[in-house]
Amino acid sequence: MSTDVTRLIQSHRSIRKFTAAPIPEEVLQDVLTCAQWAPSSHNVQAYSVIVVKSAETKRQLAVLCGNQKWVETCPVFLVFCADFYRLKLACEMHGRELAADEVENLLVAAVDTALAAENVLLAARSHGLGGVMIGGIRNQPDEVTRLLQLPPLTFPVMGMCLGFPDQDVAQKPRLPQRAVVHAERYQTEHLHDALREYEDITAAYYAQRTGGERTDGWTAQLAEYLSSPRRQHLAAFLRQQGFPMK
Ligand SMILES: Cc1cc2nc3c(=O)[nH]c(=O)nc-3n(C[C@H](O)[C@H](O)[C@H](O)COP(=O)(O)O)c2cc1C
């Protein structure tokens, strides 16, 4: 049983190649309004979205994101920032001091930001646009912060390339549902065979996508990816932005 919305959600794939067509302003506005209708923890709405259309800013961000050329070639690049700066101002309006030094606030802001971002991607797709989220925005957060003049108590969580798709890529298979959805309690007993099944499915997927060049599957790829630390600069950066994470 499906609906237009569930079919849209289930036809997701990231798009990294775009036509030269600009995104009509009214479409972009509609999509950005959808960001703000995401649910929000305690309605803190702890995020901001920077809309980047300038070719030069996109060029610089593409480099900062690890030379991801789609950041430069998409007509619109969005930077989703966790944002407690506005909340600090709200506290000050009432003579209160923001206690932003909790891990809780960091989680709240990151979750709020991600919910807004997914609303945007879905809304954009409903307009015929495509896109991809960009975690590479956290590669060099200091430089991104300087370039976009992000105030204290904000930090870039993810970017998003948006535009009209100029590629037709196959969907990336997802984990078997029994590895993800558990009835009544966490069911560890399904995990190993589900992981083995997914390894075979994804190995076949990558072999086809790369013309046989890549034959490892998801567990092999992630075992390699996750066995060394990533973005170790982030803790220091977050402290510098006003999140001591006590
Ligand atoms: C928070 C987040 C960060 C991501 N960062 C990047 C990125 O920096 N570059 C990129 O090309 N794709 C990025 N992706 C896209 C993922 O690689 C992609 O969603 C995943 O491989 C599944 O593929 P699919 O979206 O086509 O189904 C990111 C996705 C998310 C949710």
Q: What is the pLDDT of residues 72-89, one digit of tens each?
A: 999 999 999 999 999 999
Supply the pLDDT for residue 150: 98
Q: What is the average per-residue pLDDT within 161-184?
A: 97
User: By the 8 A CB rule, do 120 and 78 touch?
Assistant: yes
Helices of type H across 97-190: 103-126, 141-147
- The answer to whether the CB of 147 falls within 8 A of the CB of 64 is yes
User: Atom 30, ligand 1: which residue's CA is nearest?
Assistant: 133
pLDDT higher than 80, residue 177: yes
Q: What is the pLDDT of residue 159?
A: 98
Residues 176-195: what's their mean pLDDT? 96
> Which band of pLDDT confidence, cut at 50, 70 and 90, is reported for residue 9?
very high
Q: Which residue has the higher pLDDT, 100 or 191?
A: 191
Closest atom, ligand 1, to C-alpha of 169: 26
Residue 102 has pLDDT above 90, yes or no: no
Match 């930090």 to its residue by tokens.
Answer: 155
Distances (CA, A) of 37 to 1, 26, 27, 122, 143: 26, 17, 16, 12, 30
Q: What is the mean pLDDT of residues 159-181?
A: 97
Read off the pLDDT band of 36 (50, 70, 90).
very high
Residues 155 and 235 sit within 8 Å (Cβ to Cβ): no
Query: Candidates 16, 73, 133: which one to mutate for ligand 1, based on the most atoms within 8 Å of Cβ?
Result: 133
Q: Which residue has the tokens 């072999």?
A: 207
Specify the pairing of strand 154-163 against strand 47-52: unpaired
Q: Three-state SS for 118?
A: helix
* Confidence class for position 222, pLDDT limits 50, 70, 90: very high
Binding site membership of 68 for ligand 1 (Cβ less than 6 Å): yes
Q: What are the tokens at 75?
A: 């007509």
Residue nearest to atom 13 of ligand 1 (CA): 134
- Region 142-158 average pLDDT: 98
pLDDT of the residue at 244: 87
Task: Report the nearest atom of ligand 1 relative to the CA of 137.
Answer: 8
The residue among 85, 96, 89, 91 whose CA lies nearest residue 48 is 85
pLDDT > 70: percent of the chain = 100
Residue nearest to ligand 1 atom 20, measured at CA: 14
CA–CA dist 139, 133 (Å, integer): 14
What is the atom index within ligand 1 of the atom nearest the CA of 158?
A: 1
pLDDT of 153 above 80: yes
Q: Is 49 in the pocket of ligand 1 (CB under 6 A)?
A: no
Pocket flag, ligand 1, residue 133 (CB < 6 Å)? yes
Task: Determine the Cα–Cα distance for residues 161 and 135; give it in Å rounded to an integer.
Answer: 11
Distance CA 116, CA 67 (A): 25
What integer pLDDT is reported at residue 17 of this predicted model? 98
The rounded distance, in Å, linking the Cα atoms of 109 and 82 is 5
Instruction: Label residue 6 by pLDDT band (50, 70, 90).
Output: very high
**Mean pLDDT to the nearest integer, 166-182:** 97
Confidence of residue 61 (pLDDT cuts 50, 70, 90): very high
Question: How many angstroms is it from 159 CA to the middle of ligand 1?
Answer: 10
Tokens representing 140 are 């060099």
Smallest CA-to-CA distance from 49 within 132, 154, 164 is with 154
Residue 101 has pLDDT above 80, yes or no: no
Q: Give the pLDDT band of residue 246 (cuts 50, 70, 90).
A: confident
Q: Are 80 and 113 in contact (CB under 8 A)?
A: yes
Cα–Cα distance, 201 to 129 (Å, whole number): 28
C-alpha span between 20 and 2 (Å, rounded): 33
